[in-house]
Amino acid sequence: MFDEETGATIPHIAEREISDEIAISVQELDVTYRTTFEKRPTLKQAVVRLGRGKRSVKTVEALKNVSFDVSRGSVLGIVGHNGAGKSTLMRAIAGIVPPTQGRIEVVGRTSTLLSLGVGFNRSLTGRENVILGGLAAGLTKDELEDRYDQIAEFADIGDFIDAPMSTYSSGMGARLAFSVAVHLDPDILLIDEALSTGDAVFKEKATQRMQELVNNSSTMLLISHALRTIINMSTECIWLDHGKLMMRGNPEEVVDAYTEYVHVKKTSATMNDM
Ligand SMILES: Nc1ncnc2c1ncn2[C@@H]1O[C@H](COP(=O)(O)OP(=O)(O)O)[C@@H](O)[C@H]1O
Ligand SMILES: [Mg+2]
């Protein structure tokens, strides 16, 4: 590649070695979902065809050409409207959603790369999920026995810990997921809107625990609609809009630009949240 202004050669991004300082490198990432569904335009047609609808494919470009690095020990806040691609980005980094184009490099033991609630089986009890999650993260049975009590105590969901997770409220599920995630000494912690679910006391406790992890140089990605939390916790922030990276930088500046943009848009469009 060639810089027109200076005439200098620019190394292509894919050839670059990622340094020790970088925990996550996302390069020119596209994620496109493809869903097939039955197209049934009207009830009458559906009845006439006796349920044999036409197969249609719906594609959603959830992320488009997104590139950024995350330094080790930093906290990256992610903001953007509903459907902007925030959760998709996190799932891609967690390895749950494959990139359609581009690449993602994650430095650190991927077994400790945790995402809230991912991997929980709702037909099992909370206790069973904690144990499976811990084993999946590479803890030994003895380590798990120690941690189990801490996890259960922190989640503070009482007897529900021994009930199937399908009976949990979303708040309970989130509390347990958060508790598991933060008690397994993650190198990289992925938190998707965790703080919006708990009550005030849990939020306080959760924030404190995240701060501890950050102080111990864990790297963290944080999605939240609570922009105050983003500003308080993040060292850097990115803003996604319809799958595109709009801005990256100082959390306060990014949040300001984002809220300004939303306010301007709000008058003409239907933005139901921030
Ligand atoms: N599993 C999926 N299959 C098809 N489309 C999806 C799927 N998950 C998310 N999407 C779509 O991708 C876009 C981004 O979604 P998401 O990453 O959940 O956004 P956000 O977390 O910012 O609200 C949305 O248009 C959403 O409808
Ligand atoms: Mg989301």
- What's 72-266's CATH class? alpha beta
How far apart are the C-alpha atoms of 218 and 207, rounded to whole Å?
14
Measured in Å, residue 197 CA sits from the centre of ligand 2 at 13
- pLDDT for 254 equals 97
Q: Is 244 exposed, middle or buried (0-12, 13-18, 19+ CB in 10 A)?
A: middle
The answer to whether the beta carbons of residues 248 and 238 sit under 8 Å apart is yes
Measured in Å, residue 85 CA sits from the centre of ligand 1 at 6
- pLDDT for 216 equals 79
Measured in Å, residue 82 CA sits from the centre of ligand 2 at 7
Would you put residue 39 in left (φ > 0), alpha (ψ -120 to 50) or beta? Answer: beta
Place of tokens 């399908």: 166
**Sign of the dihedral defined by the CA atoms of residues 145, 151, 157, 160, in that order:** negative
Q: Is the pLDDT of residue 114 over 60?
A: no
Nearest ligand, CA 240:
1
How far apart are the C-alpha atoms of 246 and 39, rounded to whole Å?
34
For the chain, give the number of residues.
274
DSSP-based helix, strand, coil % in the chain, nearest 5: 40, 25, 30
How far apart are the C-alpha atoms of 220 and 272, rounded to whole Å?
27
Count CB neighbours of 60 within 10 A: 14
- Residue with CA closest to ligand 1 atom 24: 83
Nearest ligand, CA 84:
1
Q: Which of 256, 189, 192 is nearest to 225 (CA)?
A: 192
Measured in Å, residue 143 CA sits from the centre of ligand 2 at 32
Measured in Å, residue 222 CA sits from the centre of ligand 2 at 11
- 170-182 vs 126-136: helix axis angle to the nearest 10? 30
Measured in Å, residue 44 CA sits from the centre of ligand 2 at 36
Ligand 1: lining residues by beta carbon, under 6 Å = 33, 35, 60, 62, 80, 82-88
Q: Is 230 exposed, middle or buried (0-12, 13-18, 19+ CB in 10 A)?
A: buried
Q: Supply 50's token pair.
A: 């006796």
Nearest atom within ligand 1 for CA of residue 84: 22
Residues 144-187: tens digit of each pLDDT:
888 999 999 999 999 999 999 999 988 888 888 888 888 887 78
pLDDT-based confidence at residue 270 (cuts at 50, 70, 90): very low
Pocket test for ligand 1, best of 87, 93, 241 (most atoms within 8 A of CB): 87
- pLDDT for 2 equals 44
**Ion ligand 2 — residues with CB under 5 Å?**
87
Facing residues of 200 across strands? none
Q: Which of 73, 18, 86 is nearest to 234 (CA)?
A: 73
pLDDT-based confidence at residue 10 (cuts at 50, 70, 90): very low
The listed range with the strongest mean pLDDT (49-53, 95-99, 106-110, 212-216) is 95-99
